[in-house]
């Protein structure tokens, strides 16, 4: 059959209802309950059927219903109020404008946007299914907080035709995957068109052909997210499928997507007229954007590769969410050459030089291309997503750059957060509004706002929490009935689903990706002990599980099956439930209704985790391994820790110890505390923990604080670096590139010939100093191009210096044979056995950090 001629059918809104279209295409409704409620009022049943999509709702609602609403005075009054609030939000002064007037564009034009945020997935709303899990939810929350704060940020991503899979279970509890086609024309997104009315497109060179993409805009409050769609007519059917699946397909499929995200993303911003000064790579998937940025700078500014790369790196920020090397994207060298060869050729460098930027050992020609390494080597700011993850990441990078002491590797950390307004349940939000005012929405990072939580009466807080737990129970029963019906269970099984869970029982939630390191089945390690807990005569507990395993992760699927089989045991079936198809909606019910959130990863493999943060804003308490964010958040009166942060070499012993601690905490601490009631049936001590958790953790673990941290620590500095390097015809960039070329050309001849303590005797009193001297060879380099340092500190049992500090040494004179003499002093600040080593580093003010470039004696 021939291809159809295409046209779109759009709803006809009566004039009084026209503001609905404006509201429908701004995802502010996804975190504003008044907007959400307005659309639900249009047609409650259809609102649920369309997965809460305003655009699909308006496209499918009966025209007679629209005509009826256009004459409904109550609805029109509601619409007018909501629309006025919406416009006030868009026009009101923001944190960014008030805090940084010197950085705010005078005319407020979109072309002055400064920050481009790249991510492979965005979890913004249930009706925009282009996310799989935590990374996407974080990206979505980042965008929402950027909007709330007025940060000049634009998002870049891919629009997936089928996205991530929908999950169901067969009769044996084995995960089944299905992919549903996204109808872009019924989603809250709009096609970007040029002045001629035609869609704006970009193209990227792939082997033997050009692949095109059109651009869709998602309005996220004040912020904009642009998504590239390869499902366009000029492309071959195979190329149209590049954007089909999120994290699906082969390594070649993944490489094709990451080329479009990185290279295509930069070209898209150029086509739209944006000229960002900061490029933020959220994980390494978008790292190829450095290639395109370098190419554009070389072409438009007549810069060399080295000059362009310095400018590019100065304004690139790289955030990694991976806690193990296996989590990095790796590509075979031949595959990379096949797809990137023509792009690298445009940079006037040899392909080996490009590959070296993505290899742990640049000289190993067989080593795969590592996207995280490539991102790190082209970014002057690198961070992990919790304090512990920052340490873990520095350790991983130390393995590939052992010349640098691990604590000196320039990788920082900014702990993740969540968008408070999105994840706070409507009932809890109403309570906060009553006792905290609007500031908890506008200024969630202000500690003084959350102190007012202590003003909420215990009975009122407990009543709201009980109501949320009851809603979770009702929702779980409805979902379970639907699941069982789909799996072919009998009517008696469906009827039994109506009795699953008890709205008065201590409810524990566990929901996340079912990767084996997250140890979802740890609580099943002692089934009989768990059964006694579930069915305790006076202190029962109940468990609600949810989560997906990657389609290729067989062990993860077996974990799900194990949980489902346990839940089907007649002895516990009223107390344990596994919910299919974990998504934003399921998550909202879970984090809004559980009493305790359980998290049992293998430390230190949880980079951050954010699901437990969502529970905080709803009055839930955390029970977790001391990993990720909980290392920072835990205090004895805000939740519970499993263990004290131990790490074991024997995984079986580790699991045994953690399981025993988990059960003991449930039996001796959590259960008795929850059921300890006063004469008014209030668990006063439990409620006190709820308040402590909200008041202390709420102002810290939210994305408004997180985005402010990114701005103050990285975005602002990157903007200044970019402006410095591009001023005066890129003079500083050219100067740094010349210095860099000299360093790389001559570094092999640099060496420390001799270093010594000048005075005799080994004992030094605390408070004194030690004079040291060194003789070094610099080859063709000059003293002003390097820093010579005495690296000093306590020595370990092997006479190494694990956590030393550098002390600058001063150039004294040039001796015969190209030797330079340096001297310096080391302060004696603590008693014990100390030592020092002399080292040489490249040095130029404002120059990029040269990861791994250091010469020790």
Question: Quick check: helix, strand or coil at residue 318?
Answer: strand
Question: Which residues, including other chains, have CB under 8 Å from residue 31's CB and lie 6 or more apart?
Answer: 144, 419, 421, 422
pLDDT at 853: 83
Residues above pLDDT 90, as percent of the chain: 84
HSE-CB for 516 with a 13 A CA cutoff: 9
Residues 6+ positions from 402 with CB-CB distance below 8 Å: none
- Per-residue pLDDT at 669: 98
- Residue 856 bridge partners (DSSP): 839
Banded pLDDT at 484 (limits 50, 70, 90) = confident
Q: Which residues contact 717 (CB under 8 A, 6 or more apart)?
A: 381
Over range 767-789, report the average pLDDT: 94
Ordered DSSP codes for 430-484: HHHHHHHTTHHHH-TT-HHHHGGGGGS-HHHHHHHHHHHHHHHHHHHHHHHHHHH
Cite the beta strand spans of 325-411 per DSSP E. 330-331, 369-370, 381-384
pLDDT of residue 276: 95
**What pLDDT, on a 0 to 100 scale, did the predictor assign at position 8?**
59
pLDDT at 109: 43
**Could you tell me which of 358, 140, 383, 162 has the C-alpha nearest to residue 255?**
358
Task: Give the pLDDT confidence score for residue 6 in this predicted structure.
Answer: 59
Q: Tell me the per-residue pLDDT of 733-753, one tens digit each, with 9 for 90 and over.
A: 999 999 989 998 999 999 999
Q: Give the pLDDT score at 493.
A: 79
Average pLDDT over residues 443-454: 97
Taking only the tens place, the pLDDT of each residue in 352-372 is: 999 999 998 888 989 999 999
Average pLDDT of the residues in 214-231: 97
Tens digits of residue pLDDT in 227-260: 999 999 899 999 999 999 999 889 999 999 999 9
Q: Is 168 helix (H, G, I), strand (E, B) or coil?
A: strand
Q: pLDDT at position 491, please? A: 81
Looking at residue 2, its pLDDT comes to 59
pTM, whole model, 2 decimals? 0.94
**H or E element in which residue 209 lies:** strand 209-220
Looking at residue 9, what is its pLDDT?
Answer: 62
Helix (H) or strand (E) holding 756: strand 751-757
Average pLDDT over residues 417-426: 97
What Å distances lie between residue 10 and 35, 57, 159, 306, 573, CA to CA? 21, 11, 21, 51, 47
Contact (CB, 8 A) for 239 and 233: no
Structural contact between residues 262 and 289, judged by C-beta atoms closer than 8 angstroms: yes
* Chain segment 256-270, per-residue pLDDT in tens: 999 999 999 999 999
Residue 471 contacts residue 586 (beta carbons within 8 Å): no
Query: Which of helix, strand or coil describes residue 106?
Result: coil
Angle between helices 458-486 and 684-697 (to 10 degrees): 90
- Residue 716: asked if its preceding bond is cis (omega within 30°), the reply is no
pLDDT value of position 797: 86
Residue 23's pLDDT is what?
97
Q: In this model, does residue 110 exceed pLDDT 60?
A: no
Q: Are strands 751-757 and 769-777 parallel, antiparallel or unpaired?
A: antiparallel
pLDDT in tens, 74-85: 999 999 999 999
Q: Is the pLDDT of residue 111 over 50?
A: no
CA distances for 783 relative to 289, 745, 748, 814, 816, angstroms? 36, 16, 16, 10, 15
- Computed over every residue of the chain, the mean pLDDT equals 93
Does 3 have pLDDT greater than 50? yes
DSSP H or E run through 839: strand 834-842
Give the tokens for residue 292. 């395109």
pLDDT in tens, 652-672: 999 999 999 999 999 999 999
Asked whether residue 112 carries a pLDDT value surpassing 50, the answer given is: no
Say which residue the tokens 């958790």 belong to: 693
pLDDT band at 61 (very low <50, low <70, confident <90, very high): very high
Predicted confidence (pLDDT) per residue in 539-582, tens digit? 999 999 999 999 999 999 999 999 999 999 999 999 999 999 99
Exposure letters 673-701 (e unless 16+ CB within 10 A, then b): bbeeeeeeebbeebbebbbbbbbbbbbbb
Question: Using one digit for the tens of pLDDT, what is the confidence trace for 290-336?
Answer: 999 999 999 999 999 999 999 999 999 999 999 887 788 999 999 99
* Residues 213 and 229 sit within 8 Å (Cβ to Cβ): yes
CA angle 615, 616, 622 (to 5 degrees): 75
- Helix or strand run (H / E) with residue 421: helix 420-423
pLDDT tens-digit series, residues 598-649: 999 999 999 999 999 999 999 999 999 999 999 999 999 999 999 999 888 8
């Amino acid at each position: 059959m021939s291809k159809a001629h295409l046209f779109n059918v759009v709803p006809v809104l009566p004039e009084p209802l026209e503001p609905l279209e404006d509201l429908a295409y701004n995802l502010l409704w996804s975190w504003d309950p008044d907007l959400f409620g307005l659309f639900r009022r249009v047609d409650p049943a259809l609102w649920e059927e369309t997965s809460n999509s305003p655009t699909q709702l308006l496209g499918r609602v009966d025209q007679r219903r629209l005509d009826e609403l256009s004459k409904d005075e109550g609805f029109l009054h509601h619409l007018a109020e909501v629309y006025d609030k919406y416009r006030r939000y868009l026009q009101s002064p923001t944190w960014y404008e008030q805090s940084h007037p010197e950085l705010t564009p005078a005319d407020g034009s979109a072309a002055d946007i400064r920050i481009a945020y790249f991510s492979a997935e965005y979890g913004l709303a249930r009706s925009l299914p282009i996310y799989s899990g935590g990374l996407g939810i974080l990206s979505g929350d980042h965008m929402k907080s950027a909007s709330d704060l007025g940060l000049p940020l634009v998002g870049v991503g891919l629009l997936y035709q089928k996205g991530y899979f929908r999950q169901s279970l067969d009769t044996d509890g084995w995960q089944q995957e299905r992919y549903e086609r996204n109808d872009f024309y019924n989603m809250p997104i709009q096609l970007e068109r040029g002045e001629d009315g035609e869609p704006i497109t970009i193209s990227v060179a792939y082997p033997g052909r050009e692949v095109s993409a059109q651009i869709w805009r998602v309005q996220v409050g004040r912020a904009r997210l642009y998504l590239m769609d390869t499902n366009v007519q000029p492309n071959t059917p195979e190329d149209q499928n590049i954007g089909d699946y999120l994290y699906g397909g082969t390594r070649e499929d993944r490489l094709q997507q990451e080329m479009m995200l990185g290279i295509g993303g930069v070209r898209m911003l150029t086509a739209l007229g944006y000229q960002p000064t900061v490029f933020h790579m959220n994980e390494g998937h978008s790292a190829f954007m450095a290639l395109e940025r370098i190419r554009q700078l070389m072409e438009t500014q007549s810069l060399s590769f080295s000059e362009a790369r310095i400018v590019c790196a100065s304004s690139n920020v790289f955030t990694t969410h991976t806690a193990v090397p296996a989590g990095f994207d790796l590509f075979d060298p031949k595959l990379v050459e096949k797809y990137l060869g023509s792009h690298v050729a445009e940079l006037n460098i040899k392909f080996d030089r490009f590959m070296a930027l993505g290899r742990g050992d640049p000289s190993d020609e067989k080593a795969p291309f590592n996207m995280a390494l490539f991102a790190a080597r082209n970014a002057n700011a690198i961070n992990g997503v919790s304090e512990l993850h920052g340490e873990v990441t520095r350790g991983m990078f130390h393995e590939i750059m052992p010349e640098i002491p691990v604590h000196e590797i320039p990788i920082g950390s900014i702990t993740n957060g969540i968008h408070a307004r999105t994840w706070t349940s409507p009932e809890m939000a109403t309570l906060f509004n009553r006792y905290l005012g609007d500031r908890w929405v506008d200024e969630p990072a202000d500690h003084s706002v959350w102190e007012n939580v202590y003003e909420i009466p215990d009975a009122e807080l407990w009543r709201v929490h009980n109501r949320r737990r009851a809603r979770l129970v009702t929702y779980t029963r409805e979902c379970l009935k639907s699941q069982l019906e789909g799996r072919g269970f009998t009517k008696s099984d469906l009827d039994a689903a109506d009795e699953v869970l008890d709205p008065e029982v201590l409810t524990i939630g566990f929901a996340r990706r079912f990767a084996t390191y997250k140890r979802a089945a740890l609580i099943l390690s002692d089934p009989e002990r768990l059964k006694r807990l579930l069915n305790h005569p006076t202190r029962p507990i109940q468990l609600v599980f949810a989560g997906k395993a990657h389609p290729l992760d067989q062990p993860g699927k077996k974990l799900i099956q194990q949980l489902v089989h346990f839940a089907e045991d007649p002895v516990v079936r009223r107390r344990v439930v596994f919910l299919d198809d974990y998504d934003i909606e399921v998550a909202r019910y879970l984090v809004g209704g559980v009493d305790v959130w359980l998290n049992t990863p293998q430390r230190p493999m949880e980079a951050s985790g954010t699901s437990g943060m969502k529970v905080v804003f709803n009055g839930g308490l955390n029970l977790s391994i001391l990993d990720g964010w909980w290392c920072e958040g835990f205090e004895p009166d805000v939740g519970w820790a499993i263990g004290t942060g131990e790490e074991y070499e024997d995984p079986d012993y580790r699991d045994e110890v953690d399981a025993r601690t988990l059960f003991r905490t449930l039996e001796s601490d959590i259960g008795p505390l929850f059921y300890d009631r006063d004469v008014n049936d209030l668990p006063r001590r439990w409620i006190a923990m709820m308040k402590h958790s909200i008041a202390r953790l709420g102002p810290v673990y939210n994305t408004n604080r997180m985005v402010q941290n990114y701005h103050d620590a990285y975005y602002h500095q990157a903007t200044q670096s970019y402006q410095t390097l591009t001023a005066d015809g890129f003079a500083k960039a050219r100067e740094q590139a010349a210095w860099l070329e000299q360093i790389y050309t001559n570094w092999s001849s640099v060496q420390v010939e001799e270093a010594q303590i000048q005075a005799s005797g080994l004992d030094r009193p605390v408070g004194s100093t030690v004079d040291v001297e060194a003789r070094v060879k610099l080859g063709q380099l000059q003293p002003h191009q390097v820093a010579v340092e005495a690296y000093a500190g306590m020595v370990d049992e092997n006479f190494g210096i694990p956590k030393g500090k550098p002390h600058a040494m001063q150039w004294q004179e040039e001796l015969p044979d190209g030797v330079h003499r340096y001297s310096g002093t080391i302060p004696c600040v603590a008693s014990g056995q100390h030592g020092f080593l002399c080292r040489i580093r490249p040095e130029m003010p404002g120059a990029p950090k040269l990861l791994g470039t250091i010469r020790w004696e």
